[in-house]
Amino acid sequence: MTRAIGPLFRVCLLLFLACRAQAAGTPTVVVFLEQDDERSQRIGGIVQSRLKEKADVRWFPYSTENMSNPIYRGRLIASLSHAQLVVAIGDNPTGLVLGELDETPVYFIGVSLISGTLMQSPRISGLMNYSADDVFANMPKAWSRGFGILYTPGYEPVVDSIKAAARLAGVTIHERRVAQRGALPQSAESLMEDSPAIWVLGDPLLVREASFEFLIERSLAERVPLVSPSASATRQGAVFHSQAKAEDLAARASKNILALLKTGTTDPRPRIDLPPSGGLLLYHQAAAQRFGLAPKPPTWVKLQ
């Protein structure tokens, strides 16, 4: 018995050290998502199931009530900053992590509204909520010549993805980059002169409060319909917005995240990706009627 302890001890020691090496090599991925949003929960569940063998996945919920508690918020940010990668699902969780985390790589999923400035860092990558393939496949054919894109600094990767989809769909693009709020009127009006319709990408500088009210007002005056990035903007009077299918978002995101974990860099191609086709275009009925657009079910669905 005593003679067996020596070799047995050596085996145990090797096993201990192997486990430590494994533990040290297994990346910690934190999934951060809206607590009560069923769509985010579905996306998070698929992502977790695809990552579980490659990473130690932890979940943290986001809720407005919790975020107003400084004790909870401090502890949450401390935990998130310790992860090797934070996967943020939805606008609010993404906005929080991009604003608070200075060094931790972040991969966001299903985002519609986000500041372009926050997306500029190379440690930020992600998958937007809207599909250029769906927009180009289902929009009126008359919009294909000179379709307008209005965006802000930081959205260049998104615009590149949109232009790549446009080439495949035979759509020509006119674009205007709005560097600051003061430049919005001139950029919007010059784009409206050239374009049959304009897709406003979701920087709060363009889609919040007075800015979007201005765009809606000009859209009506110039008879140039707007494609919005989100439901809230569509409700204000844009014609429709694109929403990708949750399962497609999760599948594409999981693939990108696994590539990120494998290469150890925060620079997959493309860094800011768009989901594939297969989602919906949620339209504002009154706005669609105003511009004489005929909804095309089943892809076009009336926004409730």
Partner 1 sequence: MRTSSVWRKTAAAALLAALPVAASAKIVFTGYGDLRYNTGLRQEVTAAPATAAAIGAQTGSLISRGFSADAIGLFAATEVQENLQFLTDITFRRIGTQVNQLSLQYAYLHWTPLANTAFNAGKLTLPFGYYNENRFYSFQRTTIIAPVFASGILGLPIADWGVSGSQQLPLKGVTPELTAYVVNGYGSVPGTKTSMRSAALPGGLALANNIGATDNNNKPSVGTRLRLKEIGGAPVEVGASYYYGLWDSSALEPMTMVGSHAHASAYKFDVIAEILHLNVRGDQGFVRSIGDTSWSSTGGFVVLAYQAPPVLGKAITPYLQGEYFRSKPNNGDAERETMRTLTGGAMVRLSNQVQLKGEYLHLIYEIPDRANAGFLRLDADGAFLSLVVTF
| Residue selected from 54, 61, 67, 123 as contacting partner 1 according to rule CB under 8 A | 67
Least Å from the CB of residue 119 to partner 1: 21
Question: Please, what is the minimum distance in Å from the beta carbon of residue 11 to partner 1?
Answer: 11
Q: Select the span of 71-79, 146-154, 195-203, 232-240 touching partner 1 (CB under 8 A).
A: 71-79
Cα separation of 288 and 300, whole Å? 11
Instruction: Candidates 96-104, 118-126, 164-172, 262-270: pick the segment binding partner 1 (CB under 8 A).
Output: 96-104
Choose between 64 and 180: whose C-beta lies nearer to partner 1. Answer: 64
Give the range of 23-31, 106-114, 120-128, 275-283 binding partner 1 by CB under 8 A: 23-31
- Sequence-separated (6 or more) residues with CB below 8 Å from residue 10: none
| Neighbouring residues of 277: CB distance < 8 A, sequence distance ≥ 6 | 131, 133, 134, 137
Amino acid at 27: P
Q: Is 11 a binder of partner 1 (CB under 8 A)? A: no
Minimum Å gap between C-beta 14 and partner 1 is 9
Q: Tell me how far, at minimum, the Cβ of 59 lies from partner 1, in Å.
A: 10
Asked if 138 and 300 count as a contact pair (C-beta separation under 8 A), the reply is yes
Binding mask 35-64 for partner 1 (x = CB under 8 A): ---------------------x-------x
The amino acid at 137: A
Determine, following the binding rule CB under 8 A, whether residue 235 of this chain makes contact with partner 1.
Answer: no
Continuous segment of H or E residues that includes residue 75:
helix 70-82
- Token pair of 101, please? 């985390």
Q: Which string of DSSP letters, residue by residue, matches 187-223?
A: HHHHHHHH-SSEEE---HHHHSHHHHHHHHHHHHHHT
CB 137 within 8 A of CB 277: yes
CB of 30 vs partner 1, minimal distance in Å: 10
Closer residue to partner 1 (CB): 74 or 170: 74
Smallest gap from Cβ 163 to partner 1, in A, equals 38
* Site for partner 1 contains 19 (CB under 8 A): yes
In angstroms, give the least distance from the CB of 13 to partner 1.
Answer: 5
Nearer to partner 1, 124 or 192 (CB): 124
Applying CB under 8 A, does 121 fall inside the site for partner 1? Answer: no
Residue 80 CB contacts under 8 Å (≥ 6 apart), including other chains:
30, 32, 60, 86, 97, 100, 101, 104
The one-letter amino acid code at 271 reads R
The CB-of-300 to partner 1 minimum distance in angstroms stands at: 32
Q: Which residue has the tokens 């989100």?
A: 230
- Cα(228)–Cα(200) distance, integer angstroms: 5
Nearest residue (CB) to partner 1, 12 versus 168: 12
When binding is defined by CB under 8 A, the residue of 49, 52, 82, 183 that contacts partner 1 is: 82
Taking CA atoms, 274 is separated from 125, 271, 277, 294, in Å, by 11, 10, 9, 26
Closer residue to partner 1, CB minimum distance, 66 or 187: 66
Strand order from edge to edge, sheet including 147-151:
173-177, 147-151, 198-200, 226-228, 240-243, 280-283, 300-302
Q: Give residues in contact with partner 1 (CB under 8 A).
A: 2, 5-6, 9, 12-13, 16-17, 19-20, 23-24, 28, 56, 64, 67-71, 73-75, 77-79, 81-82, 100, 102-103
